Amino acid sequence: MVQDDCLCAPSVKSESWLMVGAAVMTAAFFAVVVFSPNALVDEDWEIVDVCLAGHNELVSHEHSTLRIFLDGSEVAIAAEIGIDDASCDGLRGIHTHDGTGKLHIETPRTMEAPVGAFFDIWGETFNENQILNSVADEDSEVVMYVNGELNDEYGSHAMKNNDVIEIHYRDKSD
């Protein structure tokens, strides 16, 4: 008489594989939560949906300046970001008028203006690992300064009137 390696019913083998799969998925979820908690945050900033016909509806009108540096070279912030775009025939809650990097934060009521909301409006990427098309790796990093102070809030930083925000993609050795 020949014996099988396992006298288990086929369903026991299937259950074992399901348990292994569940353990792997749990470990992966835990790793994401611990090592990259912002990856699970689905940013839904109210200001992204603001669309104003003009300046008559304003309760708040503030300005911040955004500067982006990739490997030491400054990137121009385009004029008219958030003005008459595909989502709004008017002015978005955060927009530019010219190419100076001056951000106009204009809202019909008081609300936060996170840096990340501007990047959403612009259609570009910004987070602790990427600025525009530049992605951090073992040799490079993305850092942000607000008014000359290192800031690790990245896209969630709520801009205040007259903030100067500098985002740098640079070698870690700098």
* pLDDT tens by residue, 130-148: 999 999 999 999 999 999 9
* SS3 (DSSP) at 18: helix
Query: In this model, does residue 38 exceed pLDDT 90?
Result: no
What pLDDT band is residue 2 in, cutting at 50, 70 and 90?
Answer: low
What pLDDT band is residue 62 in, cutting at 50, 70 and 90?
Answer: very high
Helix (H) or strand (E) segment spanning residue 74: strand 73-75
CATH number, domain of 51, equals: 2.170.130.30
87 assigned to some structural domain: yes
20 assigned to some structural domain: yes
What is the percentage of the chain residues whose pLDDT exceeds 70?
76
For the record, the structure tokens of 86 come out as 């595909």
* SS3 (DSSP) at 57: helix
Q: Identify the domain containing residue 162 by its residue range.
A: 46-171
4 assigned to some structural domain: no
Residues 22, 82: one domain? no
Residues 163, 87: one domain? yes
Residues 76, 26: one domain? no
pLDDT reported for residue 47: 96
Residues 15, 59: one domain? no
pLDDT reported for residue 54: 78
3 assigned to some structural domain: no
pLDDT reported for residue 55: 73
Rounded (5°) CA angle 103-50-169: 40
Residues 161, 107: one domain? yes
Residues 67, 136: one domain? yes
1 assigned to some structural domain: no
146 assigned to some structural domain: yes
Residues 83, 144: one domain? yes
109 assigned to some structural domain: yes
What is the percentage of the chain residues whose pLDDT exceeds 90?
67
What is the mean pLDDT of the segment spanning 105-115?
A: 94
157 assigned to some structural domain: yes
Total structural domains in the chain? Answer: 2
